[in-house]
Amino acid sequence: MVKKTANPDIVYPVNGIKLSSIHSGMYNSQRLDLAIIEIEAGSSVSGIFTKNNIKSPSVIISKNNLNKMNPKYLIINSGNANAGTGKKGYEDALQYCQYLSDETSTDIKAILPFSTGVIGERINVEKIIKFIPALIGNLNQASWIDFSNAILTTDTCNKIISKKIKINEKYITITGVTKGSGMIKPNMATMLSFVATDLEISNNKLKELLNTATNISYNMITVDGETSTNDSSILISTGKSKLSFEKLSKIDKESFEKLLKDVFIELAKKIIKDGEGATKFITINVKKIDSKINGKKIAMSVANSPLVKTALFAEDPNWGRILSAIGNSDIDINDYTKIEIYFDDILIFKDGEIYVNYNEEMAKKYLKNKNLIINIVFNTGNSSSTVWTTDLSYDYIKINADYRT
Amino acid sequence: MVKKTANPDIVYPVNGIKLSSIHSGMYNSQRLDLAIIEIEAGSSVSGIFTKNNIKSPSVIISKNNLNKMNPKYLIINSGNANAGTGKKGYEDALQYCQYLSDETSTDIKAILPFSTGVIGERINVEKIIKFIPALIGNLNQASWIDFSNAILTTDTCNKIISKKIKINEKYITITGVTKGSGMIKPNMATMLSFVATDLEISNNKLKELLNTATNISYNMITVDGETSTNDSSILISTGKSKLSFEKLSKIDKESFEKLLKDVFIELAKKIIKDGEGATKFITINVKKIDSKINGKKIAMSVANSPLVKTALFAEDPNWGRILSAIGNSDIDINDYTKIEIYFDDILIFKDGEIYVNYNEEMAKKYLKNKNLIINIVFNTGNSSSTVWTTDLSYDYIKINADYRT
């Protein structure tokens, strides 16, 4: 599969973060597939991992190690998820982590492994070990784009966001990378995401910021309702800017948090835009509902409905399927006649029936857009939730029927 | 769409049941699309209806009326679901029920309407009323096959099962009809199902038999994880055989119950075999688990996984997706290394990793079969659950992208 590179104009390095990527052959094609991130001492690192009940050994090791100390090295491979590989898969991961630990005189608990790719096959430890010295030798601050390419699987393009903000006469950087386009319904995390900033942030605050940002970004997207065995979302604060979050004014704190959320949301949207076989980028807003949790459940029920997704692929305003999907979540609906359904600002459904001035031709014309907005107004409260998703096309089948062959 | 007729060798009429079907034009093509069932006085009728929170007015009316008295007439149309039609849709259904009530001098509460088809469009009451006299005039015991054709939508064939059993020197008949091939994850019911027997059964016992039979049949199938707004499962006992269930010996009771369950399971399997775009009939057995409920949740998580379904369509033994789907249900899995996964009797996964003697070529060969069995053995208890499903093919997209256009 050809990897198109969709770089932003500029990628800002993050002081305190070095990266290195290499072609190890874990993927069949000639592409980068193995990478290391080196995190300078004194940094804070926080992580959120998949809620799938069957976790990759990489996830188990990384999660445990993160609870013990701040990591120094992240080692990431694509092409093999090292999941469903049992005790041997666990030992495999430990083995190459041990090698990296020896080569760098680093406590093995300061090394976190991440893997993405096919489930159920043993990972090639020898291949990884063989390339670790070269990876260490090539570490540098500028290699974010190579890194963003090395972690891809069925993605058709890399996904990177880099932003700067001026606070107290200093520039603070946030640079992040993500991957994923199928098996996407992250549950408290995405496939793989690594975001770093040079702002100094305590471990506790970092955890809080990561939770908030992940909940409004990666946990609000779905391609196919599938939560992978390997989802991980990592946030690193190196503190190399010599500016501390704690000491910022309230306004500066808010500006930084806003920027961080923007980075996460833009990365999450990139996954959806690259969703397997996607021909549409669909935003589902549930508005005026009694709680954000219920809003998310309703939006996810619509977003994951194969019948809604195929109708949008066909550009058919078959809104009855949206209504049925709303009814299919486990949220009790006392009076569905309060619900209004819109394509963007085209009112379709109101007072329990098709809107009297609904114009199907207008709706059909609207559905020809690549970016679609579905607004579902409950009129039962003041909360709202937004979920982003894709349509379901022939190419989703093609990609997933061909993945291993 | 051409309707292939897949009749069983013989369809036995059920004494006490008359049927009548007609082409009303509710469907565009020249086909039967409107029907009436007349149930002789003294019969018992039980029903189970959709758990979708947004129900068709037909479902609301039928459910309410069933609680008040045993019905005399069922009126069923295809081509329009009369769902998402609000107060007007409710009045529409009442209007044609009232007409049928007047024409037959029947209490309107003894009339149950059923609808299936597109959601969100007003139903054509005039068309229905126009054909009611002809429908009444043509009522007869032999018209089961016409009826089974009249209720179809995206189905490619009709679905009918008819069986006889000899008890106390008398023949007891069970004849049933169902429809459905998409929007299929019945929740306490199927799309539309009508089963009748001439055995005399009390209302309470009938309800119990219907619950049991539905739970092991229609509630164990899924095409696309969608529960429709109109699902209804009806069981009728006319008592015209002059044999009463209550008075049967224990063995005869069991024989009848077994036959009834078989009819329901065979009807449910017919829906899956005709699943939209299906190229495979897939049986998922979850065995040796702590409870049937958990077994069903695991099996449904695998059955509804688009990644599992596309892999099976591609005849690719990508069992890692099965493992990931097992992990994606909300059942806690303490130790996944106890789980064994088989394609039929081909052991794939054991002790947390790929089975040492697993032969992928054998698995690939097995997956070329049309009927596939996935066995998932938990080794944590003594319960088991079986779910039937389809693969996910290009044709599912085609059928659902084309449905209204």
Chain A's closest residue to B311, CA to CA, is A401
Chain A residues in contact with B81 (beta carbon < 8 A):
320
pLDDT at B404: 57
Q: Would you state the structure tokens that stand for residue A355, as one six-digit string?
A: 């809107």
- Shortest distance, CA B391 to any CA of chain A (angstroms): 11
Nearest CA among B192, B383, B189 for reference residue B294 = B383
Of residues A229 and A363, the one with the higher pLDDT is A363
Contacts of B376 in chain A (CB under 8 A): none
Instruction: Output the pLDDT for position B73.
Output: 97
Catalytic residue among A154, A173, A190, A238: A190
Whether A389 shows a pLDDT value over 50: the answer reads yes
Q: What is the pLDDT of residue A4?
A: 45
- At A148 the pLDDT is 95
Distances (CA, A) of A135 to A128, A144, B173, B379: 10, 14, 75, 44
Higher-scoring residue by pLDDT: B182, B71 = B71
Tokens representing A20 are 């290195």
Tens of pLDDT, residues A1-46: 334 445 566 899 999 999 999 999 988 778 999 999 999 999 999 9
Show residues of chain A in contact with B396, CB under 8 Å.
306, 310, 397
Q: Do A326 and B53 touch (CB under 8 A)?
A: yes
Average pLDDT value for residue range A302-308:
90
Please tell me the number of Cα atoms within 13 Å of A274 on its side-chain side. Answer: 25
pLDDT of residue B405: 46
The whole-angstrom distance between residue B172's C-alpha and the CA centroid of its chain comes to 23
Query: Which token pair is B183?
Result: 């929007």
Residue in B81, B225, B319 closest to A120 by CB? B319
Instruction: Kindly determine whether residue A354 and residue B84, on different chains, have CB atoms separated by under 8 Å.
Output: yes
φ and ψ at B116, to 5 degrees? -150, 140
- Using the predicted structure, report yes or no on whether residue A306 has a pLDDT greater than 90: no
Mean pLDDT lowest among A30-39, A46-55, A357-366, A367-376: A46-55
**Two tokens, residue A376:** 């579902």
**What pLDDT digit, counting tens, does each position of A145-170 carry?**
999 999 998 888 899 999 999 998 99
Q: Are strands B232-237 and B281-289 parallel, antiparallel or unpaired?
A: unpaired
Q: What is the pLDDT of residue B400?
A: 77
Residue A56 distance to chain B (closest CA, Å):
10
CA distance B27 to A262: 50
What is the chain B residue with the closest CA to A353?
B85
Q: Are β-strands A170-179 and A159-167 bridged in parallel, bridged antiparallel, or unpaired? A: antiparallel
Confirm if A196 and A236 have CB atoms less than 8 A apart: yes
Residue A171 forms beta bridges with which residues? Answer: A166
CA distance A361 to chain B (A): 13
Residue A405: is its pLDDT beyond 50?
no
Classified as helix, coil or strand, A59 is: helix
* HSE toward the beta carbon, residue B39, CA cutoff 13 A: 26
Token pair for A374: 């579905």
Yes or no: say if B26 and B80 are a contact pair by the CB < 8 Å rule: yes
Nearest to B323 among A119, A349, A392 (CB): A119
Q: Inform me whether the pLDDT recorded for A97 exceeds 90.
A: yes
Contact list in A for residue B402 (CB cut-off 8 A) is 314
Residue B232 near residue B33, CB atoms below 8 Å:
no
Separation in Å, CA B200 to CA B14, B18, B206, B215, B240: 12, 17, 9, 22, 7
- Both tokens of A165, joined, read 């903000």
- The pLDDT assigned to B135 comes to 97
The residue among A275, A320, A55 whose CA lies nearest residue B120 is A320
In chain A the domains, ranked by start, together with CATH numbers, are 17-273 (3.60.70.12), 281-402 (3.10.20.340)
Q: Is the model more confident about A228 or about B217?
A: B217
Output A100-104 pairs: Cβ under 8 A, ≥24 positions apart: A100/A36, A100/A73, A100/A75, A100/A132, A103/A132, A103/A133, A103/A136, A104/A72, A104/A73, A104/A136
Q: Do the strands A232-237 and A192-197 form a parallel or antiparallel pair, or are they unpaired?
A: parallel
- A84–B401: do the CB atoms touch at under 8 Å? no
In 3-state terms, what secondary structure has residue A367?
A: coil
A111 phi/psi in degrees, rounded to 5: -120, 125
Mutate to test the interface with A, among B353, B355, B364, B378 (most CBs of A within 10 A): B353
Strands A383-390 and A346-350: unpaired
Closest Cβ–Cβ partner in B52, B325, B353 for A85 = B353
Q: What is the pLDDT of residue B4?
A: 45
Contact by Cβ (8 Å): B232, B193: yes
Which residue of A81, A224, A307 is in closest CB contact with B307? A224
- Residue B332 pLDDT level (bands cut at 50, 70, 90): confident
Q: In this complex, which of A327, A337, A404 lies closest to B52 when CB atoms are compared?
A: A327
Residue A331: pLDDT band by 50, 70, 90 thresholds?
A: confident
Higher pLDDT, residue B346 or A278: B346
Average the pLDDT over A267-293 and give the result. Answer: 90
Least confident of A102-116, B63-77, B103-117, B179-193: B179-193
- In percent, the amount of chain B with pLDDT more than 90 equals 65
Residue A138's φ and ψ, nearest 5 degrees, are -100, 5
Copy the structure tokens of residue B304: 């509804």
Task: Report, as an integer, the average pLDDT of A358-364.
Answer: 94
Q: Closest by alpha carbon to A368, among A397, A342, A341, A343?
A: A343
The more confident residue out of A277 and B254 is: B254
Is the pLDDT at A187 greater than 70? The verdict is: no
For residue A228, which residues of chain B lie inside 8 Å, CB to CB?
324
Integer-rounded Cα radius of gyration of chain B: 22
Cβ contact B321–A349 (<8 Å)? no
Closest Cα partner for A156 from A28, A274, A271? A274
Look at B118 and B95; give whichever has higher pLDDT.
B95
- Chain B interface, mutation test: which of A50, A298, A310, most B Cβ atoms within 10 Å? A310
- Residues B12-38 have pLDDT tens digits of 999 999 999 999 998 877 899 999 999
Average pLDDT across chain A, whole number: 89
A223 — pLDDT class (breaks 50, 70, 90) = confident
Tens digit of pLDDT for each residue in B269-307? 888 888 878 899 999 999 999 999 999 999 999 998 888
| Structural Rg of chain A based on CA atoms | 22
Give the pLDDT mean for B357-376: 95
Q: Is the pLDDT of residue A335 over 50?
A: yes
The answer to whether B224 contacts A87, with C-beta atoms less than 8 Å apart, is: no
3-class state of residue B328 by DSSP: coil
* Residue range B84-105: mean pLDDT, rounded: 95
| Residues of chain B positioned with their CB less than 8 A from the CB of A280 | none
Residues of chain A contacting residue B393, judged by C-beta atoms under 8 Å apart: 397
Q: Tell me: pLDDT of B184 over 70.
A: no
Mean pLDDT of A195-221: 91
Q: Is B334 helix (H, G, I), strand (E, B) or coil?
A: coil
Using a CB-CB distance cutoff of 8 angstroms, which residues of chain A are in contact with residue B311? 400-401, 403-404
The mean predicted confidence, pLDDT, of chain B is 89
| Residue A238 known to be catalytic | no
Mean pLDDT along residues A232-249 = 93
> How confident is the model over B193-246, as pLDDT tens digits?
889 999 999 999 999 999 999 988 888 887 777 777 778 888 999 999 999 999
Q: Please report how the helices B306-313 and B319-327 are oriented relative to each other, as an axis angle in degrees rounded to 10.
A: 160
What are the chain B neighbours of A52 within 8 Å (beta carbons)? 324, 327-328
pLDDT band for position B5 (50/70/90)?
very low
Q: Nearest by CB to A349, which of B84, B304, B323? A: B84
Considering only CB atoms, A120 lies closest to which of B86, B320, B331, namely B320
Most confident of A216-225, A304-313, B359-368: B359-368
| Average pLDDT of the segment spanning A59-63 | 94
Which residues in chain A touch residue B398, judged by CB atoms under 8 angstroms apart?
Answer: 394
Q: Do B85 and A183 touch (CB under 8 A)?
A: no
The answer to whether the Cβ–Cβ distance between B53 and A331 falls below 8 Å is yes
Contact B393/A393, CB-based, under 8 Å?
no
The pLDDT value recorded for residue B3 is: 41
Task: Return d(Cα B333, Cα A54) in angstroms, integer.
Answer: 7
Contact state of B88 with A306 under an 8 Å Cβ cutoff: no
A183 and B324 Cβ atoms separated by less than 8 Å: yes
Q: How far is B262 from chain A (nearest CA, A)?
A: 29
Cross-chain Cβ contact A224/B306 below 8 Å:
yes
Element (H, E) at A162: strand A159-167
Q: Kindly state the average pLDDT of the residues B349-367.
A: 93
Cβ pair B30, B37 in contact under 8 A? no
Q: What is the pLDDT of residues A71-85, one digit of tens each?
A: 999 999 998 989 888
The C-alpha of B53 sits at a distance from chain A's nearest C-alpha, in angstroms, of 4
CB contact under 8 A, A324 and B182: no
Beta partners for residue A173, in sequence order: A164
Question: Hey, which residues of B are catalytic here?
Answer: 190
What does the pLDDT average to over B167-180?
A: 91
Query: B329–A53: do the CB atoms touch at under 8 Å?
Result: yes
Whole-number pLDDT of residue A281: 92
- Compute the distance between CA of residue A258 and CA of residue A260 in angstroms, rounded to an integer: 5
Percentages helix, strand, coil for chain A, rounded to the nearest 5?
35, 25, 35
Region B384-403: what's the mean pLDDT?
A: 84
Using the predicted structure, report yes or no on whether residue A330 has a pLDDT greater than 70: yes
Positive/negative CA dihedral, B20, B24, B26, B30: positive
The closest CB to that of A324, out of B52, B319, B404, belongs to B52
**A/B interface, count of CB pairs below 8 Å:** 221
* Closest CA in chain A for residue B333: A53
Q: Which of A402, A405, A371 is nearest to A389 (CA)?
A: A371
Q: What value, to the nearest 5°, has the Cα angle with vertex B262 and ends B259 and B263? A: 90
Return the H-helix or E-strand segment holding B36: strand B34-39
Say how far apart CA B39 and CA B18 lie, in whole Å. Answer: 7
